[in-house]
Amino acid sequence: VFSARVRYLVAGQGPPRPGQWVPVDRPLAEDFLRAFGHETRSLPPLIALAVGADADNTGGSSLAVVGDLLLVQP
């Protein structure tokens, strides 16, 4: 479902690495402020996190397998 409130951030790029786990570390607070900082400077509590793979705008295809997510306080 499309929503005007959704923001997409690219977590990584580069050549494909099929069959390999690719660890990704993200500064979630900075990502939030990058996406919504024009509306607010305060961080709301985290209640959900969506992770996905998307290639429909490029005409390609994508597949993602997500392993363990670990959220830690900085």
pTM of the predicted structure, to 2 decimals: 0.70
Asked whether residue 16 is domain-assigned, the answer is: no
The per-residue pLDDT for 1 is: 57
Total domains present in the chain: 1
Q: Within a domain: residue 26? A: yes
Amino acid 7: pLDDT: 85
For 3-32, b where at least 16 C-beta lie within 10 A, e where not — what string?
Answer: eeeeeeeeeeeeeeeeeeeeeeeeeeeeeb
Q: What is the pLDDT of residue 13?
A: 78
The residue ranges of the chain whose pLDDT is under 70 are 1-2
- Check if the beta carbon of residue 32 is closer than 8 Å to that of residue 43: yes
> Would you say residue 58 lies in a domain?
yes
User: Would residue 28 be called left, alpha or beta, if left means φ above 0 and alpha means ψ between -120 and 50 degrees?
Assistant: alpha
Owning domain of residue 74: 1-11+21-74
pLDDT at 36: 92
Per-residue confidence (pLDDT) for residue 17, from 0 to 100: 84
- 56 falls within a domain: yes
Position 2 scores a pLDDT of 67
